[in-house]
Each structure stands twice: as C-alpha cells, then as structure tokens.
Structure 1
Amino acid sequence: MIPLKRRKVVPTGAGNTGSEETSPNKFPQVVLFLLERKMGASRRAFLSQLGRKKGFQVEELFSEGITHVICENNSGDEVIAWLESQVRGRGRATAHLLDVSWFTESMRAGRPVEILDRHQLQQQQIREVEVVVFSAPSYACQRRTTLDNHNAILTDALSLLAENAELSGEDGRGVAFRRAAGVLKGLPEPVTAVTQLVGLPCLGGHSLRVVKDILENGASCEVEDTKQSERFKVLKVLTGIFGVGVKTAERWIQEGIRGLQQLQDSGRTLNRAQQAGLQHYEDLNQHVTRSEADAVAAVVEEAVASVLPGARMTLIGGFRRGKLTGHDVDFLITHPEEGREVGLMPKVVSWLESQGFLLYQKTTKNSYLEGEDGPARPSSNMDRFERCFSIFKLTEEVNGEGLKPWRAVRVDLVVSPISQFAFALLGWTGSKLFERELRRWAGHKKAMSLSSHALYDNTQRRYLRASSEEEIFAHLGLEYIPPSERNA
C-alpha cells in the first residue's frame, strides 16, 4: 500500500488540468469514459490515471461529449441500457462502446488504435435498432392479465416488498409496489432493459430501482435483505396463524414471542380462530390444489342441494381465474328466487358439521342495507354478506390424494341474494388489485360507487342494476375482461 500522504488524488475533469500526473491532451477528438460497472472503482481510477499520462482526455462523469465508452466484462445490451438511462429525453448516445482491450492496446501504442470488430462489445452491431418500449393503460381493470407472467422474477421481488410494507403498517407503499408488479405482470414479453418501461404507469422511482438492480445484477439487494430480515421472517410466521393480524403479531413480538413454540409455551389466551389456526398451522400454510378445491366443492354442493334444492353454488377467487393452487377455497351461493337464500347458511353449516367436515366455523349475518341516498360508507373494505369462515376437514376418502387420512383447508362460504349476485361474483373473483382498481376507476372516472353489493351513480343519484358481470363493465364504460385475464 502507498502511504496515504503520498497518494495523489485525481480531481474531476483531470484531463483538462496541468497536473504532473497528466500529459497535455494529444487527441482532442477522443474523449474517454471508463464505466465503473463490473470494472470496480480502484481499477477504474488506475486506468483513468494511466490514460491521462498518455495524453488522453478521460472524464469522470458521463456526458454527451464522450466519444469512447470503455467497459470490462459487460455485454453490449447492458451498456446500451445504462447509456439510455443517462441520456433519457436528450436523444440517443452515439459513443463507441469498446472492450477494455482497445484501451490497453491504445496505451501500449501511445495513441488511439484502429477500432476493430474484436474491440466492439458483443451485439454492438444491433445497437441502432430501437428497443421495444412497452405501453399499458393506467388502471389494472383496463388491462388483460393472464397467468402467463413473463416477468416473474421482477414481480415476485416487488410483491415481496409490498408484503413487507403491509406487515410494517405502510399500506400506501404496499399498494404502490403491487400496482407496479401488476403492470409488469401484464407485459407481453420479458423486460430486458429499464428503458423499455419509460412512460409506463404506476412504476415509481423505487420500483424502477429494484427492477434495474435485478436486470443488471440478477438480484435486488433490498429484496435479499428483506428476505433475511429477522422481523420480516417472524411476522410472516405469526401472521400465518389463522385469525392473527399484523397488530396482534406486533404486540406478541414486543412481548418476546418469536415463533410458534414460544407462543404455545407462553400460556397466552387465544381466541377460537387463533387456537384452530395454531393447531392446524402446517396444513393451512400449504397450498390448496385444484383437485382439493374440486373435492371441497363436491361436498359443499351436496350440502347446499340437501338443504335448499335449486340453489346455485359457484367456485370463486383465484380458482375461478384459472389458478391451479390457492391459499383457501371460496364459494358463492345464491337462489334464483329473491329471498329464498335467507336462512340458508345455518342449514348448510349444520349439515357440514353433522357430517364431520368442519374443524372450525364462524358465521356472520348479512348487514347490508340499500339506502335511498346511496350506499353508506362501510366501516371496512369487507363486504357485508352472510358468510361462514371455516376450516374444513378434507378426508382421504374425499380428496383421493392418499397422502394422509385428512388435511385442514380454509374454506369461505358467502351467500348472496340473486339481485346482488353479479356484483358479488365480480368482487369475489379478484384479483385483489383488479378489484381495487375497478373501485378506483368507478370513483375517479365515472363518479360512481362500486362494491360487491351494488353500483351507485352519484351523478344520477340512483342504483344501476345488473344481472351479469358484462353489464357491470358496460355501466363502467369498460371493455369486458373475463376472469382468466384478471390476474393483475
């Protein structure tokens, strides 16, 4: 190591100074910039000083006056993406993109050597071809998003940051990350450069930095740090207990509880849902397969038909959108004759209990009232249908998997009057972001209020009736999007 007091510091723009470390600029038509990416700061500083000694002008900062960009271990695509991000909105960068071999040969020759094919970065010949720039509507309810996600590595990263924000009580940041992920999910091709995302909605600076980090380095430091965060891991475990929300988990953490065994050993009093959630934790945190969902559906359908012939039952949620696995199974139940559904839920629950299918259940009554002055603002985002939150005992005889005698599965039953069925079907199909954006579109663009119960026109001061999802989309002035394309 050279002692610090003897080390010379090369100031910015040293190529234009008269320092003893710098020779006069011998080649005014050549302005060099050494890209630090993958080269490293120390090697870049050494090579920059060497170039100045040889009479070359070497700039510390990139500008449009640069004629030669010197790179090491970078592909042409990587450097083009970096350059485009530097000159955004100011035209296209026109510098030569060269491997460090051109620089070292020029240093040996004491002059700029001829640029040969071997000096140019790989794929430099297609540099002038325009990168495909994606476009997308602002609202997720305007976009068709299938399960064919071409950018899973990017959307998984943003979704994890969204989850971390939500677990930290920062719902606004969580929504921002989920909207950004939703846009990327809908793109028709993989993203290869951040320049393709210029002008896309919902992609803020934070999300773009994460995307850029992954595209350039294969991973995001922020995402990897989040995965390793002790607090994040503990919150994931505790909120993975059925019936435990973020606030409860935070309180337990403050009291020193870090895992399931500590919670069991603490002697803490748990409510019925939490007791069931802790008892069946392993099962409830495994994905439910489509075949298991179909097995549950067969049982629920038998129960509904037994207590109210003619009633209709529909599998909703992610499975209706075409997903092959899910966290739970949801069903929407109605009857073609308005009012016949009243009293149905207790009978269905009683039938399931008598057959030994329910490990836990909690039923809530319908509290929705349609007001003359429009719908009252609900106390929460949850709808007010008659519902049964349950943990279902799926036996080997029913599911046919043969892995063990039975497993616990989360099942939600929702009963809707036929007059509200189309709205309930739309609201309960999801995805969560798609539904959030539908409500946002209704309010911001159409001056309407949309819920899983009804659609109210605030300008005309009247309810807009619908007997199908297609009619609701038409009321909102939107092109109908089928369930399989609502996976925002």
Structure 2
Amino acid sequence: MPFKRPSSTRDSSQSSSNTGPRLKRARSRSPSHDQASSSSRITVITVYIVQAKLDPEIVSDLFRVAEGDRVFEGGHHNGVRFHLCHDVSEAEVIVTAVHMRRRLERHIDWGIAKDRAIVTPQWLLDSAQQGKSLPCGDYAALHDLQDETEHNCPDTDCHCRSGSESHSPPPNELSSLSEPASPELAQQHDSVAAAEYDVSKLSLSHTARYSCCRASPLICPNQGLVAELDVIRRSRSLEGEERSALSYQRAIAVIKAFPKPITAKNLHGEVSKLPYLGQKLMSMIEEYVEDGQITESAKNRDSPRFQALSAFTTIYGIGPHTARKLHAEGMRTIHDLEYHFGEKETSAGSELSSGDGHAEDEEKILERSIQVSLTLRDDFKEKILRDEVEEMNSVVMRELDALLTGCTSTIVGGYRRGKPQSNDVDIVITHTDAKGGAAKIKGLCKKFVRRLYERGLVTHVMHLSSFRAPNALRTTQWDSLEKALTVFILPPSPDGCQPRRRIHRRLDLIFAAPEVYWTAIVGWTGSTMFERDLRLWAKERRGLKFDSAGITRRHDSKAFFPKNEREVFKLLGLDWVPPLLRNADA
C-alpha cells in the first residue's frame, strides 16, 4: 500500500463505522517540552505505519506523534523522538492493526516483518505518553511474531560489556579458539569456591534484556513476589499456554536480578522501566505490594485441576501434555496413576541390552520411566543435601577410574548454582588427555552405566543415549553428548561405620570430549532462563550457535573450542557471570 498522508479533517461516516475499541490519545506537550537540552539522552525510533484497518482519526493521532521533531520526555533528562519513515525497510518498528499474517503480507514483505518489531497503534501512543520506548512484546500485533517483536524492540539495550550490534565476532578474537586445545581442568572448581560475589565489581546490569547479562542470586530481595508469579507461570505451562508462560518466566528473571525490595515508592519509578514488565504484570506486582499476594495465584493454588496437574508432573516422564491427557481420562490423584500404569518393578536391563539406546519403542521407555518414578516417588521426594551430592560424585569417579583412568568431572546443575538441596544430581565427565580424550570418551557412557548396574549402584536407566555426530544445523532439541539418566543408590557404609540409609537418587551422567568440556559445563549448569537467553544472545548478537555440545558459527558451522569457562563467556562477547549468580528462574 502506498504511503498516504491522512486528511486532517475527520470523516465522521468512516469513524462511526469503526467498531473497535477507542485508542487513548497521546498526551500533548507544551512547547517547552519539545526541545531537549544538550545533556538529555534522546532515543530516536524510526516508525512505519500500516494504515489498513485504522480509523482516519486514529491515523491522524499516530501521524502527529510520529512526525516532526517533538521530543516526548520521560524524566531523568531522558526522552524519545519518533521519526516517520516512508520506506518500511528503514523502520525499526512497524505499527499496524492487522493481526493475521496473510493480511499483513499484502502490505509488507514477511522477511522484513520478521526483522522488525510489529506492534499495535497503542504502543506508539503509550510510548509517547510515558516518554520512552515501551516493551514491544506487550503490544505485539501478531502472535506469529511475538518472539521476534520482543527481541527486535528498541526499548532497553543490554548493558553488557559487548553490547555491540555486530552479528559477526571479530576474526582475531576467535582465531585462537578455532583449534582444539587442552582444557584447563585444574580450574574447574574455582568458579564456585566463594560463597558470595561482590556484584558491584561485576559489569552486569539488572536492566539488561538478557538473563545472561544480569546477576541473579539464588534468593533475591523479592523472593515472595517471585513465588507468587511462578504459580501463574506454572499454571500457564500446565495448560499448554507456552507463550504466556514464557512471558511470566521472563518477568520472574527480571525481578530475580532487581537488587532492592520492590515497594510503593519505587514501583512506578525504576521498577516500571524494567524490561518485560507490561501493564498486566505491573498491576499484579502492585497488588502484591499492597496485599502481599496476587489473586490469580491464590485461585490457581486452590484449583483442583491445578493441584492434580502439578502432582502429575512431579512424576518423571510426565510433562504438561501427558498430564492434561491423563486428567481428561478421569485421573485426579497419584493413586489413580498407580492404578493406570501399575507398579511393576523394572530395572536397567532392557535399556542396557539394546544396541544403541534407541531400539526400544519410545512409548515403552516412557511408560517404564513413569512406572519407576511412581514406585520410587517417596525416595524422589527427599531432597539431596550437598554433602551427599559430593559423596555420589566421589563414588562415581572411583568406579570410573577402575574402568578408565585419567577422567575428571564437575558437578553441575543446581548444586553448582549454590542450592543447599537438589532434586537430582548432574555430573559432566571428560578425559584429561587433550589429544586422545575424545576417542576414549566415545562409547564410555554405556560401558560405565553397565558397570554401575552390575555393581548395584544403578538400579534403573530412564534414558541412555549413544554418541551422535554433532548436528551442524542443530535441528534436534538435545545436544549430541552421550548421557545417561539413571537411578543411583550409594553403596553400603564401610565396616565399622554407622549404616547409611540407602535412598534412590536421580543421577544424570554427561560425557563430553575435552574440547567441548567447558561448553557442556556452562550448558548443564543452568538455570533454564539463563541458558535460553545465552542461546538467544549467541544467535542475535554474535552470529553463533551455542549449546552443551559446542559453539559454532552460524553461517559456516565453524567450531570454536574454549579452554575454560570464562573463555566461553568471552567468546560469546559477554561479561563473566559466576555460577551462583545464574539463578534466573524462580
């Protein structure tokens, strides 16, 4: 559609036919506000307006906001100025009332749309009112482009050390990491040696858009609020509303990094300027500040359906989709699941007997995992203290040394992030031989699990993957590392010691070649939101693909091999975030 300047005269016949909701007008500014002082920080945003489906009066309002040199002030000597462009390819933000892809493609190319923030007209008007670019995700015009709109939004830049818009890492920065090198294995525990970190000495910002650019402690000053919002997030996830659940997850991650208690005094000031906190979330936060709870969270907690689905998903192998299916079949309690699946005792034998860990039917593997989890649910409920985690690692490495000498390990997961108690134990294992270690590690997973099974230390195998060549396109969800998800039990205490209570524990063993050992450690340390944003940052800001199995350049699949954990962050253009400050989840 050609660019057309709307008439300043209102067409009453056209406007009266518009049945959509009225949009709020941008608040007019006095002439004194139109000029910014030289010390002001002004954000200039280029805007393209798709006039289809818009009332002429609303179009006029939008043009008045977007035209000219008017600066909309937002306080603290900051403000925003919009620039109306005639070429959609020059726009940062596209404003439209169209909500379907096919209709939008009549006006703009879909490839351009995916690289822009596509928002409703209310975003432009509200941004002008508040004098700042508001989070576009709260005003996304198309559900199909929700993620792209959030990440292309010019609202808040990441304040990380390397916040450059460059999508290609400088060649001289990566050249030294393009060949496999001996990993600095002796440093593997340095990053968690200290109980606390001085956040003020780290170049991290709680206003950053990416979790991997923030300092997120295990317990934050607003942990009660986080718990309330997490109830809503879990409810959305249990009901399959993944986009909504992700929105709450992002908001939780932002609040986890906020360094001060949220109060009535700062709620409408610095808190309102944080990324991902839209109008609905702000109203929930305000309710919590006033009442100490959120009504929707309380309703969810009291919901029998929420309680049933939550209970089902505590069983290994049952995710939200399966939980909803079981609920639809009439099941409401764990006892109903026991009757449905039966409490047949199963062992590791069938999984270990298959040639590659994938020969057995997936449904049978899943059913066996659920049966095991139901049988051992009382043991699985008990948290694992840190000293037991360390003892399990010692036993595992002692047994591995008897099979292959020269291996080393790092305990990852919640333990590495400082949790006093864990639900399961994750251990990443490699070999210290930089040149021949990869060959020694290949195939070791299944051999080692068989030994643990024969020794009575592994009682069940939930999942066992053999070696797979790295997938350059990363079309699969899991990485290509060998791994075993097992049920482990510590051996009896030595003679003369008080007999220990032997409890079944979930133990995940991950085997990584020396050259990808540190990406495996970073990838398996978590938290979930931190890892998600780490992958997103690598893609959007560095033109790289990151997962536990390695780092590759997107345009040619060239691999890079950091030799320690800090080098992983340097390669990704990020400031170092200690493991204890990666707790971006509730």
**TM-score of Structure 1 vs Structure 2, range by shorter chain:** 0.5 to 0.7
Q: Classify the secondary structure of the residue corresponding to 2:469.
A: coil
Please state if 1:152 is matched with 2:226.
no
1-structure distance, mates of 2:240, 2:499 = 39
* Aligned equivalent of 2:338: 264
Q: Classify the secondary structure of the residue corresponding to 1:303.
A: helix
1-structure distance, mates of 2:423, 2:283 = 30
* Aligned equivalent of 2:281: 207
Query: What TM-score, normalized to structure 1?
Result: 0.68
2-structure distance, mates of 1:395, 1:462 = 45
Computing the radius of gyration from Cα coordinates, the structure with the larger value is: 1
Equivalent runs, 1:41-190 vs 2, <5 Å: 89=130, 136-190=207-261
Q: CA deviation at 1:346?
A: 2.3
Are 2:413 and 2:426, in contact at CA under 8 Å, matched by a contact in 1?
yes
Are 2:206 and 2:254, in contact at CA under 8 Å, matched by a contact in 1?
no
Q: Which amino acid aligns with 1:341?
A: I
1-structure distance, mates of 2:548, 2:419 = 22
Question: Alpha carbons of 1:403 and 1:261: their partners in 2 closer, same or farther (altered >3 Å)?
Answer: farther
Q: CA deviation at 1:265?
A: 2.7
Q: Equivalent of 1:449, from 545, 570, 586?
A: 545
Q: Classify the secondary structure of the residue corresponding to 1:202.
A: coil
Q: CA deviation at 1:486?
A: 1.1
Q: CA deviation at 1:459?
A: 4.7
2-structure distance, mates of 1:396, 1:364 = 26
Q: Which amino acid aligns with 1:247?
A: H
Higher relative contact order (CA 8 A, sep 6+): 2
2-structure distance, mates of 1:402, 1:237 = 35
* Aligned equivalent of 2:124: none
Deviations along 1:32-53, one digit per CA (max 9) or x if unpaired, are xxxxxxxxxxxxxxxxxxxxxx
Are 1:450 and 1:456, in contact at CA under 8 Å, matched by a contact in 2?
yes
Equivalent runs, 1:279-358 vs 2, <5 Å: 279-336=375-432, 337-358=437-458
Deviations along 1:355-413, one digit per CA (max 9) or x if unpaired, are 22222114533454246xxx123232x22211111111246738x99897321211100
Deviations along 1:273-320, one digit per CA (max 9) or x if unpaired, are 111100011221232211221221121111111111111111111111
Are 2:470 and 2:480, in contact at CA under 8 Å, matched by a contact in 1?
no
1-structure distance, mates of 2:547, 2:501 = 41
Are 2:443 and 2:467, in contact at CA under 8 Å, matched by a contact in 1?
no
> Size of the alignment, in residue pairs?
355
Q: Classify the secondary structure of the residue corresponding to 1:433.
A: helix
* Aligned equivalent of 2:562: 466
Are 2:457 and 2:490, in contact at CA under 8 Å, matched by a contact in 1?
yes
Q: Classify the secondary structure of the residue corresponding to 1:441.
A: helix
Root-mean-square deviation (CA, aligned residues, Å) is 2.6
Please state if 1:478 is matched with 2:549.
no
* Aligned equivalent of 2:108: none
Are 2:493 and 2:500, in contact at CA under 8 Å, matched by a contact in 1?
no
2-structure distance, mates of 1:461, 1:242 = 35
Q: CA deviation at 1:89?
A: 4.2
Deviations along 1:86-129, one digit per CA (max 9) or x if unpaired, are xx849xxxxxxxxxxxxxxxxxxxxxxxxxxxxxxxxxxxxxxx
2-structure distance, mates of 1:266, 1:321 = 37
Structure 2 residue ranges without an equivalent (≥5): 1-128, 132-204, 345-363
Deviations along 1:306-346, one digit per CA (max 9) or x if unpaired, are 11111111111111111111211000011122311123222
Please state if 1:241 is matched with 2:315.
yes
* Aligned equivalent of 1:192: 263
1-structure distance, mates of 2:272, 2:463 = 48
Q: CA deviation at 1:135?
A: 5.4
* Aligned equivalent of 2:350: none
Question: Alpha carbons of 1:406 and 1:146: their partners in 2 closer, same or farther (altered >3 Å)?
Answer: same
Question: Alpha carbons of 1:283 and 1:319: their partners in 2 closer, same or farther (altered >3 Å)?
Answer: same
Q: CA deviation at 1:263?
A: 2.2
Q: Classify the secondary structure of the residue corresponding to 2:506.
A: strand
Q: Classify the secondary structure of the residue corresponding to 2:438.
A: coil
Q: Which amino acid aligns with 1:364?
A: L
* Aligned equivalent of 1:95: none
Are 1:317 and 1:430, in contact at CA under 8 Å, matched by a contact in 2?
yes
Percentage of pairs with the same residue: 29
Q: Which amino acid aligns with 2:488?
A: F
* Aligned equivalent of 2:119: none
* Aligned equivalent of 1:68: none
Are 1:396 and 1:402, in contact at CA under 8 Å, matched by a contact in 2?
no
Are 2:206 and 2:214, in contact at CA under 8 Å, matched by a contact in 1?
no
Q: Which amino acid aligns with 1:343?
A: G
Of stretches 242-251 and 451-460 in structure 1, the one that deviates more from structure 2 is 451-460
Q: Classify the secondary structure of the residue corresponding to 1:198.
A: helix
* Aligned equivalent of 1:25: none
Q: Classify the secondary structure of the residue corresponding to 1:339.
A: helix
Question: Alpha carbons of 1:261 and 1:321: their partners in 2 closer, same or farther (altered >3 Å)?
Answer: same
Deviations along 1:424-456, one digit per CA (max 9) or x if unpaired, are 111001111111001111111122211111222
2-structure distance, mates of 1:145, 1:135 = 8
1-structure distance, mates of 2:223, 2:499 = 30
Q: Classify the secondary structure of the residue corresponding to 1:456.
A: strand
2-structure distance, mates of 1:256, 1:157 = 29
* Aligned equivalent of 1:435: 531
Q: Which amino acid aligns with 2:241?
A: E
Are 1:307 and 1:344, in contact at CA under 8 Å, matched by a contact in 2?
no
Q: Classify the secondary structure of the residue corresponding to 1:333.
A: strand
2-structure distance, mates of 1:482, 1:156 = 23
Question: Alpha carbons of 1:150 and 1:402: their partners in 2 closer, same or farther (altered >3 Å)?
Answer: farther
* Aligned equivalent of 2:475: 378
Are 2:545 and 2:554, in contact at CA under 8 Å, matched by a contact in 1?
yes
2-structure distance, mates of 1:354, 1:444 = 47
Q: Classify the secondary structure of the residue corresponding to 2:262.
A: coil
Question: Alpha carbons of 1:204 and 1:287: their partners in 2 closer, same or farther (altered >3 Å)?
Answer: farther
2-structure distance, mates of 1:332, 1:395 = 21
2-structure distance, mates of 1:280, 1:162 = 28
Structure 1 residue ranges without an equivalent (≥5): 1-87, 91-133
1-structure distance, mates of 2:568, 2:554 = 16
2-structure distance, mates of 1:405, 1:89 = 61
Question: Alpha carbons of 1:200 and 1:402: their partners in 2 closer, same or farther (altered >3 Å)?
Answer: farther
Query: What TM-score, normalized to structure 2?
Result: 0.57
Q: Classify the secondary structure of the residue corresponding to 1:216.
A: helix
1-structure distance, mates of 2:517, 2:249 = 28
Are 2:481 and 2:511, in contact at CA under 8 Å, matched by a contact in 1?
yes
Q: Classify the secondary structure of the residue corresponding to 2:531.
A: helix
Question: Alpha carbons of 1:413 and 1:265: their partners in 2 closer, same or farther (altered >3 Å)?
Answer: same
Question: Alpha carbons of 1:263 and 1:362: their partners in 2 closer, same or farther (altered >3 Å)?
Answer: closer
Q: Which amino acid aligns with 2:464?
A: T
Q: CA deviation at 1:172?
A: 1.5
